[in-house]
Amino acid sequence: MQRKSDVIVIGAGAAGMMAAIRAGKRGRSVVILDHARAPGEKIRISGGGRCNFTNIYSGPKNFLSANPHFCKSALARFTPADFIAMVDGHGIAWHEKTLGQLFCDDSAKDIIRMLLAEMRIVGAVLHLGTEISGVEKIESGFRVSTSEGNCEASSLIVATGGKSIPKMGATGFAYRLAEQFGLAVLETRPGLVPLTLDPGLLESIAPLAGIAAPAEIRHGRTAFREALLFTHRGLSGPAILQISSYWREGDEVVVSIEPDIDIAAHLKTAKQLNGRQSPQTVLGDILPKRLAQFLVEREKISGNMADLPDKALLRLAAGVQNWAVKPSGSEGYRTAEVTLGGIDTAALDSRSMEAKAVPGLYFIGECVDVTGWLGGYNFQWAWASGFAAGECV
């Protein structure tokens, strides 16, 4: 292990590798430590193995934080176009899937290979399988004690991510270290996570497990239009993951299925045109058949369209497009894609990510209280905050 360097980065994930690359490009000697056996494990599994590495529409509005202005500076100085230029420079083919989300054509491993190649070019030294046992402030900067010996540097960048997916090595390391140095840590909770339902409701929707439909999910004034997925545990799919970051225990969310279609008008027209059809058949023209049947049965509606008063049709339509559900909880950090909350941005300089009270100490990526929507925003924050720190160490 190299004993002395200008910069030590703890965490060889998206943010840490980007910081190492930028610092190395500026001529800094960089040592990067990670307890895992491989770097960028979350990149590897991201985007279903294709890594949704950025979002071309990424902007401050796509991030949650106690201070929504904090992310602006870093996001402005390393943009999706900057990351795309890096990807293009390595000849990695990509495509836009939907809503500005960019994915690798082939494999997320291409992104990891790219970052490792860039680190090699600038001479950043990576130590994997390295447990960190302590960090202390010394006169010349910081001393990090590890299972492979001690190392020292004038700057220390902490990029150990959040608590999501502990099975993959996620730890609360960054939060503990922040507290050790007197930085405030805001309450953390799982984000971009499936929501669970209580056993009674779950039993009634059990036959729907596996069914997906376009939906709008609302929580207060926040709404997302993407796919909704019924699962064996409750509700999932991109629309639910998105709203989960806004949802709090005890709150309701309002589900509108096929929000682009006026279901009430559709039912009334169908009644006029062909009253002998069943409501299941009419709804089944728009929705998956099993879902249509469930929704009709849930409203205890029977008979043909001609038999149904308009009031019943409106009730049925409301069941489809104004369904208030109170989730019992979330699947937690076990499956959450991100951790909300974390190191209070008030303690950090938004241009450099440096702790205001501890010169030379930087926090970047997911451990900071900046959390993106689903769709490539979280990696964009990792790249941008990593770049910001790498630019200033």
Neighbours of 125 (CB within 10 A): 17
Question: Which residue's CB is nearer to ligand FDA, number 65 or number 378?
Answer: 378
Closest CA to 9 of 361, 347, 358, 359: 361
Distance in angstroms (rounded) separating the CA atoms of residues 159 and 33: 10
Q: According to CB under 6 A, which residues from 171 to 190 bind ligand FDA?
A: 171, 173
* DSSP assigned state of 333: G
Does position 366 interact with ligand FDA (CB under 6 A)? The reply is: yes
Neighbours of 106 (CB within 10 A): 12
Question: Which residue's CB is nearer to ligand FDA, number 164 or number 293?
Answer: 164
Let me know: does 330 contact 196? Beta carbons within 8 Å: yes
Does position 296 interact with ligand FDA (CB under 6 A)? The reply is: no
Does position 12 interact with ligand FDA (CB under 6 A)? The reply is: yes
Question: Which residue's CB is nearer to ligand FDA, number 45 or number 184?
Answer: 45
Residue type present at position 350: S
Residue from 126, 159, 312, 343 binding ligand FDA (CB under 6 A)? 159
Q: CB under 6 A: which stretch of 66-74, 118-126, 153-161, 350-358 binds ligand FDA?
A: 153-161
Does position 365 interact with ligand FDA (CB under 6 A)? The reply is: yes
Residue from 65, 79, 164, 330 binding ligand FDA (CB under 6 A)? 164
CA 138 to mean position of chain CA atoms: 36
Does position 5 interact with ligand FDA (CB under 6 A)? The reply is: no
Q: CB under 6 A: which stretch of 14-22, 58-66, 148-156, 352-360 binds ligand FDA?
A: 14-22
Residue from 36, 66, 186, 201 binding ligand FDA (CB under 6 A)? 36
Angle between the 310-321 and 289-298 helix axes, to the nearest 10 degrees? 120
Q: Which residue has the CB atom at the shortest distance from ligand FDA?
A: 13
Let me know: does 365 contact 386? Beta carbons within 8 Å: yes
The Cβ-side half-sphere exposure at 41, using a 13 Å CA radius, reads: 17
Residue from 8, 28, 46, 279 binding ligand FDA (CB under 6 A)? 46
Q: CB under 6 A: which stretch of 10-18, 209-217, 224-232, 307-315 binds ligand FDA?
A: 10-18
Does position 258 interact with ligand FDA (CB under 6 A)? The reply is: no
Nearest approach in angstroms of CB 174 to ligand FDA is 8
Residue from 15, 86, 185, 287 binding ligand FDA (CB under 6 A)? 15
Neighbours of 77 (CB within 10 A): 13
Q: CB under 6 A: which stretch of 59-67, 87-95, 342-350, 371-379 binds ligand FDA?
A: 371-379
Nearest approach in angstroms of CB 152 to ligand FDA is 17
For tokens 């800094």, name the residue: 28
Residue from 22, 28, 35, 271 binding ligand FDA (CB under 6 A)? 35
Question: Which residue's CB is nearer to ligand FDA, number 159 or number 316?
Answer: 159
Distance in angstroms (rounded) separating the CA atoms of residues 355 and 178: 9
β-strands 101-104, 4-10: how paired? unpaired
Closest CA to 41 of 128, 158, 125: 128
Does position 74 interact with ligand FDA (CB under 6 A)? The reply is: no
Tokens standing for 248? Answer: 């709090």
Distance in angstroms (rounded) separating the CA atoms of residues 130 and 385: 24
User: In sequence order, what are the residues at sequence separation of 6 or more whose Cβ sits closer than 8 angstroms to the Cβ of residue 363?
Assistant: 157, 158, 159, 174, 178, 183, 343, 348, 353, 355
Nearest approach in angstroms of CB 382 to ligand FDA is 4
Does position 338 interact with ligand FDA (CB under 6 A)? The reply is: yes
Residue from 5, 8, 9, 13 binding ligand FDA (CB under 6 A)? 13
Let me know: does 188 contact 163? Beta carbons within 8 Å: yes
Tokens standing for 324? Answer: 């208030």
Residues of the shown chain interacting with ligand FDA in the complex, contacts defined by CB under 6 A:
10-16, 34-36, 41-42, 45-47, 51-52, 132, 159-161, 164-165, 169, 171, 173, 337-338, 365-366, 376-379, 382
